[in-house]
Amino acid sequence: MMRLWKALHTSRRGKRGVRRADGPRARLEVEALDQRLLPSSVPNLAGMTMHFNPFAPYTNPSTSLNVQYVQDLGGGKGNFWGSYKDVLDGCSTGVTGSMTLKGLTWNPVAGGWAYDFGLTFSGATDYVNYLLGLNLARASGAGDVYVTSISGNSSDYCNGLAGLSFAGTESDSFTVTSFTGQIISSLSESGHVWYTDYRWWLW
């Protein structure tokens, strides 16, 4: 009887050891599932205009970025085309940019959990002003776009239904040069800015 008890006890310990070995594999399967839950698309911000508000120290509050077209590349990446405007210094130019999913994080602008997309844009436009000379406008920016949901319907963002916030930096310049190469005027500004369609909740 003693030998039989030892044999059964040894066989059960072996089986428990096998079951314990399954643990790490199960955790890997859960991690893979979490990765699949992350969105593979970018938000369609076409038609959306973000009027940037300045952080302190105060910068120019008159700047805006309008997204005109979004190209979804899959895998949480996308490109976009749009326009940038600063009504105070006269800068107005087309820009191109990109969005890349960083993950799910806390929205530092409006609060709450949101999908975080890194966003960058830049562009320049030069044209002839026949009265003054050559005009050159430049603009660039970088930061994070936070959205509460991913939608291919652009009206969800234009109407504030999908939640949109931005925090980052922008800079622009507008230079007028005479036909002889002399700078007639040159204005520029830069700073930290933010935008949210939740701002009416904050006031």
> pLDDT tens for residues 10-59?
544 544 444 444 444 444 433 333 444 677 899 999 999 999 987 654 45
Handedness of CA 64, 73, 165, 58 (dihedral sign): negative
Write down the domain spans for the chain.
1-37, 49-202
The mean per-residue pLDDT over the stretch 175-188 comes to: 88
C-beta of residue 77 within 8 angstroms of C-beta of residue 99: yes
What is this structure's pTM? 0.76
C-alpha torsion angle, residues 4, 9, 12, 13 (rounded to 10)? -140
